[in-house]
Amino acid sequence: MKANFFLGNGRFSLQEVPTPTPGPGEVLIRNAVFGVCGTDVHIFHGEPGSAEVTPPVVLGHEFSGVIEALGPGVEGLQVGDPVTVDPNIYCGKCEYCRDGKKQLCPHMRAIGVTQNGGFAQYCAVPAAQAFRLADQVPLEYGAMAEPVACCLHGIDRAGIRPGDTVCVVGGGAIGLIMLQLARLSGAGRVVLSEPNGLRRQAALQLGADGAIDPKDPGHLDEFQALCGEGAQVVLECVGNNAAVASAFAFAKKGATVVLFSVPKVDAQFPLPLFDVYKKELTIRGSFVNPDTHARAVALLNAGRLDLGPIITHRFPLSRLQEAIEMQMSDASIKVVVQAQE
């Protein structure tokens, strides 16, 4: 089979390697589609992922495919089943796992980060990490289950109440998923802040009540016309200081601000302490997808999310580096790679 190995220093190598054999409790997946994630971009630049990366390794933690073979002892799945993969594997023994906070497990392993993952034609994974997709779900959508699951954890952290005004800062794939999840959570109004016109248009297509350009000198007036004093929940989905500053500016008194994005490791932000004090703000982080993958698949299987406008570019496995570079471009929203050329 073909596998595209990350060698470090922004380099990949497409290699012919033996197709893995599923061991006890594992399934072999004939990969179909994988998404290029912001985490992959960070790793490409030599920064950490959700866990430590040791090249050479096959990246790719957002992927779907069809079960090709079952290892000994696998039950509940069949050859031919379309599946998506939850990449994160926890130890189950540390204080965080035992305290219901498995996402903070210091021993977490991740398929496509710490061990070979989806940027290959086949991948063997524990059967417990494979989730059955409904037959009618496009495998491209199935590859988006992991980011949807991560967003669901962020939505859980946000505590949106029916009728709340929600502001999403950043209209990349994550922001556009968050927009839809906020609406499904009962938000009375959802507004996007995003400088990219393509992404603002996608947001309106997906049901945003407004989409403002934060680089427009009059954007605060436009935001006030849409949201009055501000938003009860702000979801920051960019990871730079300008976006974080906007998130605090858009927050109403008593608001919750979720800093969802993956920033650079050494990123710093001067916290507006008086605003936190006077507005009585709640600030929350959100990390990976603890026990939310099944809910993400349920939403996909029920057709409750529209991911079509989010996926803008497709590349073959042999052009993985180009795919990652396109994901960094303002011309894209979400880039996917097709495993079988």
Whole-angstrom Cα distance, residue 241 to residue 250? 14
| Structure token pair of residue 140 | 């491209």
Strand 231-236 relative to strand 251-259, pairing: parallel
- Of 21, 39, 84, 312, the active-site residue reads 39
Any idea which residue has 């497709």 for tokens? 314
Active site residue 293: no
User: How far is residue 69 CA from its own chain's centroid?
Assistant: 28
- Of 19, 21, 42, 165, the active-site residue reads 42
Question: Where is 257: in which H helix or E strand?
Answer: strand 251-259
The identity of residue 221, as a single letter, is: D
Whole-angstrom Cα distance, residue 15 to residue 1? 8
Tell me the backbone φ, ψ of residue 283, rounded to 5 degrees: -115, 125
Q: Are 84 and 95 in contact (CB under 8 A)?
A: no
Active site residue 313: no
Whole-angstrom Cα distance, residue 131 to residue 300? 12
Quick one: the chain helix, strand, coil %, rounded to 5?
A: 30, 30, 45
Tell me the backbone φ, ψ of residue 148, rounded to 5 degrees: -60, -45
Whole-angstrom Cα distance, residue 253 to residue 251? 7
Burial of 195-209, coded b for 16+ CB within 10 Å and e otherwise, reads bbeebbebbeebebb
| Catalytic positions, written as ranges | 39, 42
